[in-house]
Amino acid sequence: MSPFSTTSDQQERLHFLYRIVESAAALSLDLGYQLAKFKVLSDPAEAPFDGTHMEDVYQEHETQVDPHTGESVNALDGKIVQAVVFPSVLKWGDERGENYEEMKVILKAKVLI
Stretch that binds another protein, among 17-25, 48-56, 64-72 (CB under 8 A): 17-25
Asked if 36 and 91 count as a contact pair (C-beta separation under 8 A), the reply is yes
Is residue 52 a contact point for another protein (CB under 8 A)?
no
* C-beta closer to another protein: residue 44 or 67: 44
Is residue 62 a contact point for another protein (CB under 8 A)?
no
* C-beta closer to another protein: residue 35 or 67: 35
Q: Applying CB under 8 A, which of residues 30, 52, 62, 71 lies at the interface with another protein?
A: 30
Q: How would you label 91-107 residue by residue, b for 16+ Cβ within 10 Å and e otherwise?
A: bebeeeeeeeeeeeeee
Residues 6+ apart with CB under 8 A from 103: 90, 91, 92
By CB neighbour count within 10 A (0-12 exposed, 13-18 middle, 19+ buried), where does 19 fall? exposed
Interface residues with another protein (CB under 8 A) are 3-7, 9-35, 37-42, 45-46, 57, 82-87, 89, 91-93, 95, 97, 100-101, 104, 106-107, 110, 112
